[in-house]
Structure 1
Amino acid sequence: MDYSRKVRAAAVQISPVLFSRDGTTEKVLQAIANAAKEGAQIVVFPETFIPYYPYFSFVQPPVMMGKEHLRLYEEAVVVPSPVTEAVSQAARSHSIVVVLGINERDGGSLYNTQLIFDADGTLLLKRRKITPTYHERMVWGQGDGAGLKVVDSSVGRVGALACWEHYNPLARFALMAQQEQIHCAQFPGSLVGQIFADQIEVTIRHHALESGCFVINATGWLSPEQVTQITSDEKLQKALSGGCNTAIISPEGNHLCPPITDGEGMAIADLDFSLITKRKRMMDSIGHYARPDLLQAHLNAEPFAGFQIKGFERGLNGFPNYENFPSQDRGAEA
C-alpha cells in the first residue's frame, strides 16, 4: 500500500429535493462536478441522500406513516438503474471516487445502502446498513456482513459505515482489520439538535484515532421550508433541526478544514497519507498494539441470499408435498 500519496477529499453538506428521486439526483451530479472543479479526487454525500432520508419516520407514529413510506418506495433507487448509471458516468467523466447514500429498493423491501464508485465509474461496493436504528426499523430491512468490506480504489483503501453503525465497535473493527485508509461516514443531519452534532464530532474523531485513518463525514441539511413540508407541528419541527457536522478528520483526530454545521456547503481538505504511518507508529490497533492471543473477532461475510425452503418441494397448490420427506420426518403421518 502507498503511504506517500496525497489525496484531495470533499464532503458535501446538502439538502435533497424532497419527494423527488430525479431532482435529488440532479443535485448530486452537480455537486460531483463542483467537487471536481475544486480538484477533489473523492467526494462523499450524506446518508440515504437519494431520494431523501426518511425524516417522516422520526416524527410520525407508525399508524400515520403509511402514505409517506409508500411514497419513499416509489422514489427509491434500484441497483442498477438509470440513477446509478448517471452517477457512474459522472464519476468516470470527472475521474472522481463517489460515495453515495441511497434508499435502495429490492423487491418489496427498502434498505439503507451505501455505494462506492471508483474514478472510472466502476461500482466497487454496494453495502446495506447492518441494523437500522430505532425508528428506521419501520422503514428499512437489515444488511449483512458481506458489506463490511474495504475496497481498493484509485484513492486508496476505502470503507464506509452509516450513522450509528459507528457505535458497533466490531463493525468498525472489521474495516480497521482490512487496513482502511479512508473511512467514509454518512449521517442524516437536521435531526435531534446540537446533541447529535456533538455526538458525530466525538464519533468520527474517535474512529480516526483508533483506526489510524482519515475520516470523511457528510451530513444532510433541511431548510426551514423543508422542515415544514415534513411536519406542520411546531413542536416536532424542533426535532428536525441541528445535528449537522460535515467534516474531514486526520488519523491524529484533528480537523483538516473547518466543519460545516449549518446550511449547504462543501468541506475540502488534502489527505497526506504519511500521517497514517505517523499515527500507527504510536498505536496500530490491528498490528503491534493488538493482542490476537487474547481477543479475536469473527465476521460472517457471506451475503444473505434470501430465504430458501429445504427438505421438500411445494406442490402446485403451494402446500408442501410431504411425499418428499423421509418417513421419520413426517411425524404422525409416517
Structure 2
Amino acid sequence: MSRIVRAAAIQISPVLGDDGLGTARKVCQTIRNAAEKGVNLMVFPETFVPYYPYFSFIQPAFRMGAEHLELYERAVIIPGPVTDMVAEAARQTGTVVVLGVNERDFGTLYNTQIIFDATGEILLKRRKITPTYHERMIWGQGDGAGLKVVDSAAGRIGALACWEHYNPLARYALMTQHEDIHCAQFPGSLVGQIFADQMEVTLRHHALESGCFVVNATGWLTEEQIKDISGDPALEGPLRGGCFTAIVSPEGKLLAPPLTEGEGMVIADLDFALITKRKRMMDSVGHYARPELLSLLQDRHPARTVHYAREPEQEVPPALSHNEVAP
C-alpha cells in the first residue's frame, strides 16, 4: 500500500554566544517554515541545541575547561524549557521532529537524540552509545535502552548519531525493529570533504541494507562562527566541509540534490511503496536472514549506578532514573 510522507533534512547554523535558547528558538521557527511547505517530518543536526562542541576538536583538553563548563550551563534538561518549546512547535504544526541536543543529567552531558511526535509527545530520548574521539572528553556514554524504533505520525522511526553508523550491530538492532525511516545526524562543518564523502557512502548503504528511507541532517557554521570558535587562522581548516544533508530512498537513491554548503533544507516525498519493493528482493531481517547461524544479543535495560537489594517482605523504592530527584 502506498503512503506518502514529506520529509525535510535541515541544515542551519546554531546561535552562539547567547543564553543557550537562541538555537532552540531558531529550531522552532524552522519547524514552522518547513510546515508551511507541507513537511510531515523534519530532522535537525547532531547536538544542534545549543551547539555542537566544535571547540573540543581543535583544542587540547587542558585548554577547553571554560568552554566545556559553558556548555554545561547552556545544555538541555529533559524535560525542560527547550523541550517544551519544541514540543509546542511540533504540536502546533502537526509535524514529527527529530532533534539533537547536548543533554545535562546532573553532572554529566550526553549526546542525545529526541523524537517528538506530531502531538508534541516525546516518543524517544536516546543517548549516543559511544562518543567519538575528541567527544569522549565532553559526553558520557549512552546505553542500549535507546536502541529502539518508535511508532510516530510519520511512520516507524529509528535514529543514530554520526559514527554510530559505523557500529553494524547498533544499526542491525534498529533494522530488526523494521524502521520505515532512519533519521541520521552528523555535526557538519568538520573534517573536510572526506567526511562528506564517507557520510554519503554510509547513509546510502544503510538505506539499501535496511530497506528504509534515510533522512540525514548536518550542521553549518558561518565564516564568522568559524573564526570565533577557532581564534586562530591555522585552526579554521578543520571546521570547514563535512556537510551532506540528504534524503535517501530504500533503493539507495538520493531523492533530491544533497546540501553541502550554506543553510537550507532538503525536502522529498517518501513513498512507502518503495520499502516493500526493496524488501521483496532483500529483507535482511526476514527472508534474507539466517538467525540459526547469526543473531544479535541486545541489552535494552537502562544503565544504573545502583541496584537495591530487597528484603523478602519489604518493598524497596526503585533506583532514581535520569532527572528524578529523591523526595
Give distance in 2, aligned partners of 1:19 and 1:189: 19
CA drift at 1:236? 1.3
Is the contact made by 1:193 and 1:239 (CA closer than 8 Å) also made in structure 2? yes
- Mark the structure with the bigger radius of gyration: 1
Give distance in 2, aligned partners of 1:309 and 1:61: 40
Letter in 2 for 1:14: I
CA drift at 1:129? 0.1
Is the contact made by 1:245 and 1:259 (CA closer than 8 Å) also made in structure 2? yes
Give distance in 2, aligned partners of 1:4 and 1:127: 30
Q: Does 1:270 align with 2:294?
A: no
What's the counterpart of residue 215 of structure 2?
Answer: 216
What's the counterpart of residue 24 of structure 1?
Answer: 23
CA drift at 1:28? 0.1
In structure 2, the residue corresponding to 1:7 is in which secondary structure?
A: strand
Give distance in 2, aligned partners of 1:275 and 1:127: 28
CA drift at 1:4? 2.2
- Structure 2: 5+ residue runs without aligned partners? 311-327
What's the counterpart of residue 186 of structure 2?
Answer: 187
What's the counterpart of residue 313 of structure 2?
Answer: none
What's the counterpart of residue 52 of structure 1?
Answer: 51
Give distance in 1, aligned partners of 2:27 and 2:261: 19
What's the counterpart of residue 69 of structure 2?
Answer: 70
Q: Does 1:88 align with 2:96?
A: no
Q: Does 1:103 align with 2:102?
A: yes
What's the counterpart of residue 171 of structure 1?
Answer: 170
Map Cα deviations across residues 242-268 of structure 1 (whole Å, 9 max, x no partner). 000000000000010110000000000
In structure 2, the residue corresponding to 1:217 is in which secondary structure?
A: strand
Give aligned pairs, total.
309
What's the counterpart of residue 2 of structure 2?
Answer: 4
Q: Does 1:243 align with 2:254?
A: no
Is the contact made by 1:104 and 1:110 (CA closer than 8 Å) also made in structure 2? yes
Map Cα deviations across residues 188-238 of structure 1 (whole Å, 9 max, x no partner). 000000000001100100000000000000000000100111112222110
In structure 2, the residue corresponding to 1:160 is in which secondary structure?
A: strand
What's the counterpart of residue 206 of structure 1?
Answer: 205
Is the contact made by 1:13 and 1:221 (CA closer than 8 Å) also made in structure 2? yes
- Structure 1: 5+ residue runs without aligned partners? 312-334
In structure 2, the residue corresponding to 1:130 is in which secondary structure?
A: coil
Is the contact made by 1:19 and 1:51 (CA closer than 8 Å) also made in structure 2? no
Give distance in 1, aligned partners of 2:234 and 2:252: 36
TM-score, length basis structure 2: 0.93
Within 5 A, what are the aligned runs for 1:132-151? 132-151=131-150
Identity of aligned residues (%): 70
Map Cα deviations across residues 44-89 of structure 1 (whole Å, 9 max, x no partner). 0000000000000000000000000000000000000011011000
Which segments of structure 1 move beyond 3 Å, counting only runs of 4 or more? 307-311
Over the residues paired in the alignment, what is the CA RMSD in angstroms? 1.1
